[in-house]
């Protein structure tokens, strides 16, 4: 759990001194101070970002975008990079070395974003204030009166904000334009209804209320005018949603900080897809007669698909979905202890809960972790209920999250996946630095800039690792049934094909038809899932690769260490040491782990 000092006022009162550049006895103390002050300067520059992470001191500020503003940001990043370069890597602890890399990568990536990617010229969905106002109104971090006070000041800049957005946009892509229209139109009710409704419950004077209502009116007009303006754009010269090879390769490097290049991961994903198909066909041939009287189709992919369809009918009833998940958690813990796979802190059991009302409708399962400023927040495993769903909808959902996949989902989201990783990450932070009253949580850098490929890669890696160690094996056997393996391979195809889709769509001009054909025929996805994936890939870049990239890197690192350490390699120690560095990019963790190898 993030033990964060809630006295935020103390943070603001801290002086913003630059780090000492002379060699001090302990560079780590200087670096810790630098990180604290850096975060404060960053929040001052990005009040909206700060607010979304629970730091509310600048809530009344709405930054108006523009060329001048971009220049201010760039100067900030350049100057921070300069400050950072004054620290000698060799003098820093392992924990601070990875923080140093995270900061350096963030600063360099941000400068690249301003100078080269320039999404502020082509992504109109980047301009939307509705969500941030809504969060301030609905999140009870302060009294309603005080939150509305900040909101009332913040409202003044909304018209200027959208005016500036229009002048920055040069050639928006059609897809991002559509998204911006629907998100802005969908969010405008915050100014038309929600803020006015909340205002009625306050002690503001009639005059104050009138002024705020007038600002709300101007804000909603600005939002709708922006949406109207986007609709009127002539898309003749619209930029393509496809990033193209040069930008894609760079974005891959900055966002994922992987030891592999984009092309290498793409080649690995193609090879993995082929390997998975072969493994699946072997199982299909083995199981065919057990499940079907018909003759097996000669096309291997068609045969695999039929068998998967058959196995998907093995699922729980809608009303026992939640209990099925709850029952599996202690099973996972028992298995991990029995096989000695990783130490699990028994003082921090996972809190399984029914998903809160505001998440309702998504079903499934997800981890909610407290942000870096949420002092004693719990980490929850939210489990959705299928109450009120139509039979057809819940049947399709339960077939997707069938008996086999549900277990893999629990491994991924909870134990030893995301939940376990999070606990290690928080502990690494607390162990790394003396936690001084009035300073930010020591893990703040990893919490804010944590590497997505490492985090997702770990969760994907644990799925395979558990099965490799016999998870799901019937009693008396040491490997899971072939049915379980077949379904695992199907699940693994998803992150593999996400990578292929993302790369082919942005780099190789993949058509929508070809993409849907790949996802439905080769990754065995339902049409609706495949359509959703296509849309997500047109709107984002590189993120869909994070799962497979991190997975590949962690697996490669494990095999490398096995080979280098021989009989000294121990799986449990590997897992614990790997996680002890926190949510850092795998390539930096690798450097540190190799450095610590016993010399022969």
Interface ranges with Zn ion (CB under 5 A)? 313, 456, 459
Q: How far is Cα 375 from Cα 378, in angstroms, rounded to an integer?
A: 9
Question: Do residues 326 and 415 touch, judged by C-beta distance below 8 A?
Answer: no
Question: Do residues 155 and 219 touch, judged by C-beta distance below 8 A?
Answer: yes
Residue 471's nearest CA partner among 463, 462, 480 is 480
Please report, for residues 121, 157, 195, 279, 466, the alpha-carbon distance to residue 182 in angstroms, rounded to integers and kept in the order given. 19, 22, 20, 43, 42
Task: Specify which residues 368 forms β-bridges with.
Answer: 380
Q: Which is nearer to Zn ion, 313 or 320 (CB)?
A: 313
Angle CA 112–116–121, to nearest 5: 115
Q: Which two tokens stand for residue 525?
A: 């996805």
8 CB neighbour count, 10 Å cutoff: 15
CB of 583 to Zn ion, least distance (A): 12
CB of 462 to Zn ion, least distance (A): 10
Q: Which is nearer to Zn ion, 2 or 312 (CB)?
A: 312
Residue 421's nearest CA partner among 243, 578, 555 is 578
Radius of gyration, CA atoms only, the chain: 26
Residue 178's nearest CA partner among 135, 241, 117, 120 is 241
CB of 575 to Zn ion, least distance (A): 17
Q: Which is nearer to Zn ion, 456 or 463 (CB)?
A: 456
Q: Which is nearer to Zn ion, 120 or 419 (CB)?
A: 419
Task: Specify which residues 497 forms β-bridges with.
Answer: none
CB of 172 to Zn ion, least distance (A): 31
Q: Which is nearer to Zn ion, 303 or 459 (CB)?
A: 459
Q: Which is nearer to Zn ion, 459 or 561 (CB)?
A: 459
Q: Which is nearer to Zn ion, 313 or 511 (CB)?
A: 313
CB of 420 to Zn ion, least distance (A): 12
CB of 344 to Zn ion, least distance (A): 19
Please report, for residues 121, 133, 150, 203, the alpha-carbon distance to residue 208 in angstroms, rounded to integers and kept in the order given. 37, 18, 13, 10
CB-side exposure of 548: number of CA atoms within 13 Å? 30
CB of 384 to Zn ion, least distance (A): 16
CB of 99 to Zn ion, least distance (A): 23
């Amino acid at each position: 759990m993030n033990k964060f000092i809630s006295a935020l006022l103390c943070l603001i009162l801290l002086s913003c001194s630059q780090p000492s550049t002379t060699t001090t006895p302990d560079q780590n103390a200087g670096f810790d101070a630098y990180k604290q002050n850096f975060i404060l300067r960053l929040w001052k520059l990005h009040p909206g970002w700060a607010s979304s992470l629970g730091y509310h001191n600048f809530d009344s500020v709405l930054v108006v975008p523009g060329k001048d503003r971009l220049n201010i940001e760039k100067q900030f990043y350049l100057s921070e990079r300069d400050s950072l370069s004054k620290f000698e890597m060799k003098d820093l602890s392992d924990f601070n070395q990875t923080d140093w890399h995270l900061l350096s990568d963030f600063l360099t990536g941000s400068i690249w974003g301003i100078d080269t990617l320039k999404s502020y010229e082509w992504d109109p969905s980047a301009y939307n204030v509705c969500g941030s106002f809504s969060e301030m109104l609905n999140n009870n971090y302060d009294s309603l009166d005080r939150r509305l006070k900040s909101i009332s000041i913040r409202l003044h800049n909304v018209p200027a904000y959208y005016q500036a957005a229009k002048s920055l946009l040069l050639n928006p892509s059609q897809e991002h334009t559509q998204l911006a229209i629907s998100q802005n139109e969908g969010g405008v009710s915050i100014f038309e209804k929600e803020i006015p409704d909340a205002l009625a419950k306050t002690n503001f004077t009639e005059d104050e209320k009138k002024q705020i209502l007038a600002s709300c009116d101007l804000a909603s007009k600005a939002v709708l005018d922006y949406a109207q303006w986007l609709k009127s754009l002539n898309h003749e010269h619209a930029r393509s949603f496809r990033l193209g090879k040069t930008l894609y390769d760079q974005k891959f490097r900055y966002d994922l900080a992987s030891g592999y290049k984009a092309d290498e991961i793409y080649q690995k994903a193609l090879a993995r897809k082929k390997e998975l198909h072969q493994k699946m066909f072997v199982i299909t041939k083995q199981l065919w007669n057990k499940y079907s009287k018909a003759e097996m189709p000669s096309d291997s992919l068609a045969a695999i698909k039929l068998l998967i369809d058959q196995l998907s009918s093995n699922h729980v009833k809608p009303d026992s979905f939640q209990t099925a998940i709850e029952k599996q958690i202690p099973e996972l813990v028992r298995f991990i202890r029995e096989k000695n796979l990783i130490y699990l802190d028994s003082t921090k059991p996972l809190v399984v809960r029914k998903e809160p009302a505001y998440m309702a409708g998504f079903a499934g399962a997800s981890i909610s972790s407290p942000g870096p400023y949420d002092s004693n927040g719990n980490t929850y495993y939210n489990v959705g209920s299928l109450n009120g769903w139509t039979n057809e909808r819940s049947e399709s959902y339960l077939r997707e999250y069938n008996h086999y996949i549900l277990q893999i989902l629990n491994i991924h989201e909870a134990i030893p996946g995301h939940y376990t990783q999070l606990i290690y990450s928080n502990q690494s932070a607390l162990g790394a630095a003396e936690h001084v009253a009035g300073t930010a949580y020591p893990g703040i850098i990893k919490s804010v800039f944590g590497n997505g490929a490492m985090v997702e890669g770990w969760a994907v890696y644990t799925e395979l690792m558990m099965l490799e160690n016999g998870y799901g094996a019937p009693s008396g056997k040491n490997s899971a049934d072939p049915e379980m393996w077949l379904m695992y391979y199907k699940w693994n195809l998803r992150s593999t094909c996400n990578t292929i889709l993302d790369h082919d769509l942005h780099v190789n001009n993949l058509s929508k038809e070809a993409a849907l054909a790949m996802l439905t025929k080769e990754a065995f996805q339902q049409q609706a899932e495949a359509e959703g994936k296509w849309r997500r890939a047109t709107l984002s870049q590189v993120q869909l690769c994070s799962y497979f990239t991190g997975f590949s890197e962690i697996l490669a690192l494990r095999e490398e260490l096995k080979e280098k350490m021989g009989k000294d390699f121990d799986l449990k120690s590997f897992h614990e040491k790997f996680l002890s560095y926190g949510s850092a990019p795998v390539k930096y963790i690798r450097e540190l782990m190799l450095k610590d190898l016993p010399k022969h």
